[in-house]
Structure 1
Amino acid sequence: MTSQSKACSYALATALLWSTIATAFKLTLDYLDPWQLVFWSVLTSTLLLGSIVLLQGKGKLLVRQARESFWLYAALGVLNPFLYHIFLFGAYELLPAQQAQALNYSWPVALSLLAVPMLGKKLSRKDILCCLTAYLGVLIISTRGQLQSLDFGSPTGVILALASTLAWAVYWIFNTRLKGDPLVSLLICFLLGMPWIIAATAIASDFHPGSIEGLAGAAYIGVIEMGIAYILWLKALKLAENTAEVSNISYLSPFLSLFFIANILQESIHPTTYIGLVMIVVAVVLQQRKSATVKDRSSDVSGTAVEQG
């Protein structure tokens, strides 16, 4: 098997893992509120990432990288895991999973727009057309095609979903300033974001997991969305001879996700979800062919997402 074939295999495995996340979010939010879900999932991921970094003998590297860019890491920790995930989980609590996950995939468009004031980039006519196409897709999904009435169902949910894309985009713009091991960088962000999560959860909710189902769901999200998927994606990018080919595999994820949403959550997928999602993904792919300002969720944490849901 060639290096590119291995890279594509890792990318496909990552896309499959990502495709389960929207369903996991929605199921777990039946047992935990967004604050509790952020706390338990990030705690799980931090323990996992910390164990991996220490087992790889990167403890000294962790300290060195943290010292070199402490304040940048501190700011990034507020954006991700804290703000990004609280916005995202809040959106999933208020919106159908099919809407929340589709809106979340518009984040590369937000990235392109924010790169203008933050990085001094210029938008070409093609960039502008792609952005307009993507956000028309967002509008179609948000209103379920009711463009004339602009009935958003849950305006707060839509605002939170779009806020998550902004938080993620700003996170990746500043992330480009970091040098060093990306897994170590992610762990530092999580470590420095954790105090904010603890404080917010103590004020807005509590730390009681409620049930074993809620704790299991949070652990799954922490291990898969914030951990394993990101590690697999880093492996895919490292092995890739053609990064664009590998990156495009990630866009299988939102469509595969609709399969789980329909069959596990029993949501009836609205035709406008497919239409809007295709518009968003096509716009993003066309824009990224022209230029890659920063790494896409293709470099996701979460995933992770690399979320990434």
Structure 2
Amino acid sequence: MTNFQADKKALGYALAAVLLWSTVASAFKITLQYLTPLQMVAAASCVSFVFLFAVMLYQGRLGQILPELKRHTLYYLCLGLLNPLVYYLVLFQAYTLLPASQAQPLNYTWAIALTLMAAIFLGQKIRKRDWIACAFGYLGVLVIATQGNLLALEFTSGLGVALALISTFLWAGYWILNTRHQTDAVLTLLICFLVSLPFSLGASFIFTDWSGIPWQGWAAVTYVGLFEMGLTFVLWLNAMKLATNTAKISNLIFISPFISLMLLAFIIGETIYPATIFGLLLIIFGLLVQQWQRRTTVAGEPRPRIGSGVFRRRK
């Protein structure tokens, strides 16, 4: 395969992943009409696990799962409880408290959170451009959260904003832990879902009622499980592997939040305020400043949310 053919195929994979990731904020809102955040985590995790298991089966790599888990049991226990369990519980709770048009842009600050955490836990130096990125990114957060009324500092939901920002640090923590253990990304994610399932399923049966969920709820949560961290994740990985210049491919993720906002307006009927667009532009500008002449090694993993390629977020 020539470089041109590889880049063309990578572009196709990347565009498919970006378009699918752009739909998940709407899917979150639809699913939360029928399921609680805990039920949503449990059911979506089952779907993601089944899909990733099928991928490993197709690749003939099922024999790697148990040996890898046995060698690093405690590591995967911590990693799996962090993501998907705690991360998505916090994220979905934020979506219950905030309009998705607010929660989704806030999630894009995870790369800024990653820089701050990498400085603390990995000893990486924070450069001037990182501080500039933080300033623009979190100014954008304030603009979105207050709908442009910065002086009043009145939030649609202070708790929702706090949970959305906490989720960015949880996701950044997940990728920092990943830097300590270099294993195939699909295998790692599959084991994380495997480890978390007994906890999420057990808690959901104890604390929630699964009866009476209509087919629309099951269809929506299946969509979330497949396209938030299943098929889309694999598409993005393939794009990164094939691309001769990953920077050109990873920058495509910047179109995702704008497509997502349009879908939220048309599908969910949310009002997209000018302050939301302006705040998102501030966040994107901060991320571009941060990436100028620098790529954080731990940010090289595939997730723009709107999950995992530098950015996502995705989730």
Residue 20 (structure 2) pairs with residue 17 (structure 1): yes
What SS does the aligned partner of 2:213 have? coil
Residue 197 (structure 2) pairs with residue 194 (structure 1): yes
Cα deviation code 1:117-174 (max 9, x no counterpart): 1001111111111111100001111111111111011111111111111110000011
Q: How many residue pairs end up in the alignment?
A: 309
TM-score by length of 2: 0.93
Residue 50 (structure 2) pairs with residue 47 (structure 1): yes
Q: Which sits farther off after the overlay, 299-308 or 112-121?
A: 299-308
Deviation at 1:219, TM superposition (A): 0.3
What are the equivalent positions in structure 2 for 1:211-230 lying under 5 Å apart? Answer: 211-230=214-233
Give 1:250's aligned residue: 253
Give 2:235's aligned residue: 232
Give 2:94's aligned residue: 91
**Structure 1 unaligned regions, length at least 5:** none
Distance 1:223 1:277, change over 3 A: same
Give 1:177's aligned residue: 180
Percent identity, aligned pairs only, is: 43
CA distance in 2, matches of 1:288, 1:304: 18
Give 1:157's aligned residue: 160
Give 2:122's aligned residue: 119
1:41 partner letter: A
Give 2:29's aligned residue: 26
CA distance in 1, matches of 2:297, 2:87: 18
Give 1:129's aligned residue: 132
Cα deviation code 1:162-217 (max 9, x no counterpart): 11111100000111222232111110011111122123323432334611111110
Distance 1:58 1:209, change over 3 A: farther
**Structure 2 unaligned regions, length at least 5:** none
CA RMSD of aligned residues (A): 1.7
Partners of 2:104 and 2:313 within 8 A in 1:
no
CA distance in 2, matches of 1:209, 1:54: 34
Q: Which sits farther off after the overlay, 37-46 or 3-12?
A: 3-12
Cα deviation code 1:230-281 (max 9, x no counterpart): 0000000000111111110011111110110011111111001111111111
Give 1:102's aligned residue: 105
Distance 1:265 1:303, change over 3 A: closer
Distance 1:217 1:199, change over 3 A: same
What SS does the aligned partner of 2:297 have? coil
CA distance in 2, matches of 1:156, 1:119: 29
